[in-house]
A and B are shown apart, each in its own frame.
Chain A
Amino acid sequence: DIQMTQSPSSVSASVGDRVTITCRASQGISSWLAWYQQEPGRAPKLLIYAASSLQSGVPSRFSGSGSGTDFTLTISSLQPEDFATYYCQQTNSFPWTFGQGTKVEIK
């Protein structure tokens, strides 16, 4: 199985900050990586797919990059509604594994 490792596990940031979350795959996954946002008590929401494609309706301050084993999710200017937990997921091969999550907290 492909292991997905996110860092950091949590980050404290202020509104307006630039936040970067990284995700590393244990083997190459091409660009088959998705990012999800989950607010407490809510279902996950797709943000980015195919490593860098922005899901319809998602604000442009979210962006993704990377290929192979190393990927990044960037929030260019953190907004109050962005405080949540973010997960990466590889969809290169089954089982479609998730990273352990990164919690973005208010500083």
Chain B
Amino acid sequence: EVQLVESGGGLVQPGGSLRLSCAASGFTFTKSGMNWVRQAPGRGLEWISYISDSSSVKYYADSVRGRFTISRDNAKSSLYLQMNSLRDEDTAVYYCAGGGVVVRRLDPWGQGTLVTVSS
């Protein structure tokens, strides 16, 4: 079964840091580009970051560039998002999703993990 499972979400104060993880199984993770997408409460979807299969290419949305870092460990079939200097507006459900520049679509998706930035 193809599966992505996120973890690491929680409550953090403004200015704080958090590291999200996404564990992949059931597909060839080492050959798949990966993404992070977030959704603020009651709002739409926002793509925030991409990493290629070899980690050689990374892209970020302007809203997170310089504060968030995407990475992966192919030996562990895991994707990560290091989030620093968190702001209230970063409060959202964070999803990891497979999909690279060859397939050009997001599938599969994880179930999401909630990050709440509040004092």
Binding site for B on A (CB under 8 A): 1, 32, 34, 36, 38, 43-46, 49-50, 55, 87, 89, 91, 94-101
Contact = CB atoms under 8 A, between A and B. Distances in A.
Nearest to A46: B107
Contact of A34 (B37, B44, B105, B111): B105
Contacts of B59: 94-95
Contacts of B110: 43
Contacts of B29: none
A4 to B, nearest CB: 10
B109 A43 contact: yes
B105 A98 contact: no
Interface of B: 35, 37, 44-47, 50, 59-62, 95, 99, 103-107, 109-112
Given A100-B44, A101-B45, A50 B112 contact: no
Nearest to A98: B45
A98 B95 contact: no
A49 B98 CA distance: 14
A87 B44 contact: yes
Contacts of A32: 104
24 contacts: A1-B62, A32-B104, A34-B105, A34-B106, A38-B45, A43-B109, A43-B110, A44-B37, A44-B95, A46-B105, A46-B106, A46-B109, A49-B104, A49-B107, A50-B105, A55-B107, A87-B44, A89-B45, A91-B99, A91-B104, A94-B59, A96-B47, A96-B50, A98-B45
